[in-house]
Amino acid sequence: MVYFLALFFLLVPASTSQPTELFFPGFSGTISDNLTLTGSAKIEENGILCLTDATGPLLGHAFYSYPFRIKSSTKSEAFSFSNSFAFAIVPEYMSLGGHGLAFVIATSKHLKALPRQYLGIQNATEAEDSPSNQDLVAVEFDTARDLEFQDINDDHVGVDINSLNLMWQVVKY
């Protein structure tokens, strides 16, 4: 199965038929040619990738532009990989927090998604009819509690599989 990756900076797969390392120390110059930006996502002149800004409830995606195989077509096991990235979530009003972001592995770059509590992953219909028909895995870095998705508190890291209903959560990151 071929997947697209969103919001990543380093990926090291175990397969030798594709790149063994994708490294983005910033997003200036030709590096940005490897990304597909949607919604409000943009690359600032200083090379920082911004998915949203403070103008309202926005949605932005940054996907690696090329399909990336993470599972063998002959075996049922997935390739091993590691990921490392740095990010900042800066809410408009510090005391209110805001919704976070997610590192996503999906079969498509075309997510029918909404901002806010949907983190740009799903829309309200898909969230109600979970699991979605879109194969995806997301690690969410959330800064707002959404009882709709069984969040345990505000600041948490969660793992989503085909749904925003969390499979695993870690309190306070």
For 74, the domain range is 2-171
pTM of model > 0.85: no
pLDDT the model gives residue 55: 76
pLDDT the model gives residue 70: 73
Is the pLDDT confidence value at 10 over 50?
A: no
Total domain count for the chain?
1
For residues 145 and 166, give the distance between their C-alpha atoms in angstroms, rounded to a whole number.
12
For residues 4 and 169, give the distance between their C-alpha atoms in angstroms, rounded to a whole number.
24
For residues 124 and 154, give the distance between their C-alpha atoms in angstroms, rounded to a whole number.
20
Three-state SS annotation for the chain: CEEEEECCCEECCCCCCCCCCEECCCCCHHHHHHEEEEECCEECCCCCEECCCCCCCCCEEEEECCCEECECCCCCCECCCCECCCCCCCCCCCCCCCCCEEEEEECCCCCCCCCHHHCCCCCHHHHHCCCCCCCEEEEEEECCCCHHHCCCCCCEEEEEECCCCCCEEEECC
Is the pLDDT confidence value at 35 over 50?
A: yes
Is the pLDDT confidence value at 33 over 50?
A: yes
pLDDT the model gives residue 172: 59
CATH (domain of 24): 2.60.120.200
pLDDT the model gives residue 5: 42
74-85: pLDDT as tens digits: 777 777 777 777
